[in-house]
Structure 1
Amino acid sequence: MIKIEELKAICGDDDSMVEMLLNLYMEEYGQCDSVIQQRYTSDDLDGLFKISHELKGMFSNLCAQDAMTLAQIVESSSQAGTLPEESAIKDLCQEIRAINQQINTILA
């Protein structure tokens, strides 16, 4: 989950900046759990590496440490040429859905 108070502090308590970042995430990555599942199912290691690498950076920017760690697990495995464990994919996708729900609540 996003540590929203940390994110606000980084943004200088500027709510419009926080909203902009959250909207950007939703536009770019709001459906990424489906993308990850598709790439996992099709053994697309390069695609998994790319999306998990992007997510790791985005989650770092959004103060979502747990999600960043989960993305890093998928990134490391796929970068090494190994299909990640199914549990790693499920955990990452579950965290993404929780973050999406959190963002939708904040932006409502």
Structure 2
Amino acid sequence: MIDFDILRSYMDNDDDIIEAVFMAFLEEHDDGAEKIQQLYNNKDWSELFITAHSLKGILASFGEAQAVEKLETIEGITRQNGEPNADDIDYVVKEIATIKQQISDYLGSMA
């Protein structure tokens, strides 16, 4: 989940910046959960490494801790061309859905 206190501290409490970051996240990672699941199912470890690395960075800036930890584990394993734990993949997929809902709720409240 997004930790809005951390996010606001990173973004100087600027709602316009937060909105822009959320819009960029949705443009770049709207299909992030599906992509992770598909890459895992296809055993495409090199692409899963890149995706995990990218998501890890943006979610860390959202103050999200648990999914970032799982993504870090996935990143480390796939860097060595290994198969990550299915439970870690499932956790990240579910957490991305939760984060997308939080973003949708936040952007909806801005309208």
Category of TM-score, reference length = shorter chain: over 0.9
| SS at structure 1 position matched to 2:84 | coil
Alignment of 1:94-105 (within 5 A): 94-105=94-105
Shift of 1:60: 1.3
Q: Which moved more, 1:29-38 or 1:3-12?
A: 3-12
TM-score norm. by structure 1 comes to: 0.95
Q: Deviations over 1:53-73 (max 9, x none)?
A: 001111112211222112111
TM-score norm. by structure 2 comes to: 0.92
Structure 1 CA distance, aligned partners of 2:67 and 2:15?
22
Q: Is the contact between residue 71 and residue 92 of structure 2 (CA under 8 Å) also seen in structure 1?
A: yes
Q: Does 1:80 align with 2:80?
A: yes
| SS at structure 1 position matched to 2:68 | helix
Structure 1 CA distance, aligned partners of 2:61 and 2:26?
14
Q: Does 1:16 align with 2:43?
A: no
Structure 2 CA distance, aligned partners of 1:99 and 1:54?
15
| Identity rate, percent | 28
Structure 1 CA distance, aligned partners of 2:85 and 2:62?
25
| SS at structure 2 position matched to 1:64 | coil
Partner of 1:4: 4
Q: Give every structure 1 segment of 4 or more consecutive aligned residues whose post-TM-superposition deviation is greater than 3 Å.
A: none
Alignment of 1:25-104 (within 5 A): 25-104=25-104
Q: Deviations over 1:5-31 (max 9, x none)?
A: 221122111110111111111110121
Structure 1: unaligned runs, 5 residues or longer: none
Structure 2 CA distance, aligned partners of 1:95 and 1:102?
10
Structure 2 CA distance, aligned partners of 1:52 and 1:44?
12
**AA aligned opposite 2:16:** S
